[in-house]
């Protein structure tokens, strides 16, 4: 129970892959649809003095990264509420985008921070289908509808189009960081906007984070030893847990494939 005079810090855990919708079998995926209610409640709770974002994400959708961050900023301004970010294991790519929604960013010395870039990955199976005697047939209206089909030879114009989109998204990412971090970044653009990753300690030297620390220690120091923490992180419902634990065979295959995909993303950072 929280008494009226007891300061409260609202906690929001932003942990997982950032994706447009929850993935089958995944407990922790981040998107605005799932987070909207939790964010609103956190900023509106009685006697809240600050909102602390606990971030552990290797990134994902740039659109969802932007939507979540924009909502945090809107609520912060509307409620005149300071926002603090505490990076745990990793805040890379979209995870760092989310971090910049805060007024101040903290990390652990061994946290992984950065990856300010854009990636698009796929595969090519042109030679494989030739060897097993398969002919690929594609019929389209609009010459770009078959763009980057993995079973057809690459076309330079397709590559150029994807690279153009990536350049635009990278520019948007950089503009957001510059708007949020400003002169706190202490080195050149070439040093920090090249998709490199750094430890929390090095990220502080570069100006990507403000200081080293965990939420419990920093918030106690800032708001007093009597401060209370209220967790507003979205919990997975009993129905969702039960439903996914009894998925059909085809859903289970999809679940396994997406689980592997997530493992690959996390493994880039040794996690």
Q: Which residues are catalytic?
A: 93, 145
104: number of CA atoms within 13 Å, CB side? 16
Q: CA–CA separation, 82 vs 72, rounded Å?
A: 10
Helix axes 32-44, 62-79, angle to 10 degrees: 20
Q: CA–CA separation, 239 vs 236, rounded Å?
A: 8
- Phi, psi values for residue 123, rounded to 5°: -150, 165
Specify whether the CB–CB gap between 60 and 28 falls below 8 A. Answer: no
Pairing of β 48-57 and β 197-199: unpaired
């Amino acid at each position: 129970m929280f008494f009226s005079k007891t300061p409260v810090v609202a906690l929001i855990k932003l942990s997982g892959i950032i994706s447009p919708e929850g993935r089958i079998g995944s407990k922790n995926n981040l998107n605005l649809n799932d987070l909207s209610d939790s964010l609103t409640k956190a900023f509106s709770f009685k006697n809240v003095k600050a909102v602390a974002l606990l971030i552990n994400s290797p990134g994902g959708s740039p659109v969802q990264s932007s939507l979540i961050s924009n909502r945090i900023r809107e609520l912060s301004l509307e409620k005149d509420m300071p926002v603090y970010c505490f990076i745990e294991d990793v805040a890379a790519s979209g995870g760092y985008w989310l971090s910049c929604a805060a007024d101040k960013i903290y990390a652990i010395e061994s946290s992984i921070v950065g990856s300010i870039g854009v990636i698009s990955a796929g595969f090519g199976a042109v030679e494989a289908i030739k060897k097993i005697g398969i002919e690929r047939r594609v019929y389209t209206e609009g010459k770009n509808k078959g763009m980057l089909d993995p079973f057809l030879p690459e076309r330079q114009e397709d590559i150029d189009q994807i690279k153009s989109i990536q350049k635009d998204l990278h520019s948007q990412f950089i503009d957001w960081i510059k708007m949020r971090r400003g002169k706190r970044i202490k080195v050149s653009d070439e040093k920090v906007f090249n998709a490199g990753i750094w430890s929390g300690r090095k990220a502080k030297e570069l100006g990507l984070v403000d200081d080293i620390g965990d939420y419990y220690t920093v918030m106690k120091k800032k708001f007093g030893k009597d401060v209370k923490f209220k967790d507003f992180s979205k919990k997975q419902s009993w129905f969702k847990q039960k439903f996914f634990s009894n998925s059909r065979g085809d859903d289970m295959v999809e679940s396994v494939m997406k689980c592997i995909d997530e493992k690959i993303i996390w493994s880039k950072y040794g996690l």
